[in-house]
Structure 1
Amino acid sequence: MEFVKEFATFLHQSGIIRFGDFTLASGKKSSYYVDLRIVPSYPHQFRRMIKYLQNLISEQIGFDSFDAVASVPTGGLVIASALALETVKPLVYVRSEAKSHGTGKLIEGIVEDGMKILLVDDVATTGGSIINGIKALKEAGAKISDCYVIVNRMEGAHQALQMEGVTLHQVLDISEIAEILHQARMISEQTLKKVHAQTSSQ
């Protein structure tokens, strides 16, 4: 829990999570913005985040439960790469669309029939891009039962992945981050309420 508190504080202090009025890529309005792609610019924090994620996976599902690590570019790929390196597991990734040149592949890396794959991403919102990755990997013969993200925005991803037979795990969810920051007097009561109002009860 100590890491979670420190990490939430770090995310806010370094501008990785910002509160205000934002328009997301989907066109949806949001009371906060999370850009975890900045984390690798802080190598010590990045390493601690990967180590914490590694320990979480070890405790919750164990390293024997998967043969390879996969991600969907770009945010999650840096995290998945570091995790694959630490766990000495093969890395594969799913493109958002197949290459228009060369082999025209959608999946980069080796996926064998019956291979158990752990999916990793940076942030989960509705779960759309993660589900595209799950479907592509399943079509290639992979088995996926678990997905790990650093931050769950709690806007439907949990239920959406459940429909695909995949359990979503997270290091932090947005409510937790907002609660920690509010207790540390870094954000106001009003901001906390706005964040809670935005989450769907998962």
Structure 2
Amino acid sequence: MDFVKEFAIFLHESGAIKFGSFKLSSGKDSAYYVDLRLVPSFPHQFRKMIKSMQNLISEKIGLDSFDYIASVPTSGLVIASALAIETAKPLIYIRQKPKDYGTSSLIEGKIPEGSRVILVDDVGTTGHSLLNAIKSLKDAKIIVESAFVIVNRLEGARQNLEVEKVKMYEITDILTISNILHNEKILDDQILDRINKQMNTK
């Protein structure tokens, strides 16, 4: 069984993806909810997910094309930390707002100007948090051209990042996951139809 199919079934069985009616942090209504923060509680699946992300990075841009891994707290940071250990790449992370004590820096970690980074997050929706991180990195004269997420929700993140000349890659997306679960008779036609309408693919 390939990783994406196994992962889709695991997400459903572990409760990391739920179907129904949910209110997102953006205020939008959604036919599903993805919570990848549950995955590290399942070490074998977590390890497979990190390995799959490492393979995706190797395949798309190569491990020699960047110097640092960067992420945004908190869920993306867990993934980026594991990835940094696997690839032996230094890790930094970007706060959404400066801390109000100490150095009040947005970027945590030591990184020289001109360094090349990849951004890592768990889920790509509109790309809002990634865009904030890209701005902070560029302001610090750090080069960022690629972002990697586990699941793309297909709600504009790729297009929004492209405006900043950052290319986004993902292991899988919500339509692929939904179609796998539908084929496995886990998801009914009605829910699949709602997800398709949410993605504006119909």
In structure 2, the partner of 1:107 is 107
- Normalising by the residue count of structure 2, what TM-score does the alignment of the two structures yield? 0.98
Q: Does residue 142 in structure 1 map to residue 152 in structure 2?
A: no
In structure 2, the partner of 1:18 is 18
Deviation, 1:111, is 2.2
In structure 2, the partner of 1:79 is 79
Q: Does residue 152 in structure 1 map to residue 152 in structure 2?
A: yes
In structure 2, the partner of 1:172 is 172
1:51 match: secondary structure: helix
In structure 2, the partner of 1:59 is 59
Deviation, 1:196, is 1.0
CA shift digits 1:73-121 (9 cap, x unpaired):
0010000000011000000000111010111111101221111000000
Distance in 1, matches of 2:71 and 2:130, equals 8
Gaps of 5+ in 1: none
Question: Cα distance 1:21–1:76, how it changes in 2: closer, same or farther (>3 A)?
Answer: same
Distance in 1, matches of 2:142 and 2:180, equals 38
Question: Cα RMSD over matched residues?
Answer: 0.9
- Normalising by the residue count of structure 1, what TM-score does the alignment of the two structures yield? 0.98
In structure 2, the partner of 1:27 is 27
Distance in 1, matches of 2:86 and 2:127, equals 26
State the 4+ residue runs in structure 1 displaced beyond 6 angstroms. Answer: none
In structure 2, the partner of 1:2 is 2
Letter in 2 for 1:87: T
In structure 2, the partner of 1:42 is 42
Distance in 1, matches of 2:115 and 2:193, equals 43
Distance in 1, matches of 2:99 and 2:54, equals 31
In structure 1, the partner of 2:195 is 195
CA shift digits 1:16-47 (9 cap, x unpaired):
00000000011110000000000000000000
2:168 match: secondary structure: strand
How many residue pairs get aligned? The number is 201
Distance in 1, matches of 2:180 and 2:143, equals 36
Letter in 2 for 1:113: E
CA shift digits 1:36-83 (9 cap, x unpaired):
000000000000000011011111110011000000000100000000
